[in-house]
Amino acid sequence: MSRLKQIREQQNLTQEELSEKSGISVRTIQRIESGIQPKGHTLKTLSKTLGIQENELLDEQTKTENEIKVEEPAIISEDNSTTDYSKIKLINMSSILFVVLPPLNILAPFILSYTLKQKNPITKQIITLQIFWTVLAPVLFMLGIFLKLGRSFTIVLLALIVLSNIFLILRNTAEIDRKQKLRYKLNFNIL
């Protein structure tokens, strides 16, 4: 028997009477009593109408799932270490220190990921992105030189290449901070 039906019957209400008091349709009340969990406005309205807490309307399984979600601050990655997003941001930002020295912009996050024990898909993708950028940047620079558009163009191209990597790093850091994922990532993984 659903929690709503138990509470409704304890308060000597029919589905129609509860519908009138709450403004929730009889059909919605029937659905909830048949096993569908109330959410949002419906949950708030029914709990207010019945004079109970919202979590009292939820079945035990749903309560347990909600408690588990609240109690899990970190995610366990594939090698059983916890994912610490502040450490991942540090790993990502370490590339920015060596943005003008391309091999080091790969080495710094690589060493930090092992030192901080953050061997997860996000850190692997951060390193993969830096490897890809390190390979692509000289190719673009050489193409710019072969076009022979002048020294000022070459300097601007070099600045754009460096700024593009800084942008990728900063944008990914912001996305890690907000959504715990990368904004810019590749569809493959080198590591």
pLDDT tens-place string over residues 9-58: 988 999 999 999 999 999 999 988 888 888 888 888 988 898 888 888 87
Flag whether the pTM goes above 0.85: no
What amino acid is encoded at 66 in this protein? Answer: N
Dump pLDDT digits (tens) for 73-96.
444 444 444 678 889 999 999 998
Phi-psi region at 37: left, alpha or beta (left = phi > 0; alpha = psi -120 to 50): beta
Domain borders along the chain are 3-71, 76-179
**Residue 145: its H or E element:** helix 121-146
Residue with tokens 């943005």: 99
pLDDT given at position 59: 65
Q: Which fold has domain 3-71?
A: 434 Repressor (Amino-terminal Domain) (1.10.260)
* Confidence band for 159, pLDDT divided at 50, 70 and 90: very high
Q: Which two tokens stand for residue 62?
A: 């749903």
Total residue count of the chain as it appears in this document? 191
Dump pLDDT digits (tens) for 130-145.
999 999 999 988 998 8
Q: Residue 68: is its pLDDT beyond 70? A: no
Residue 142 sits at φ, ψ, to 5 deg, of -65, -40
Which residues of 3-80 form beta strands (DSSP E)?
Answer: 75-76
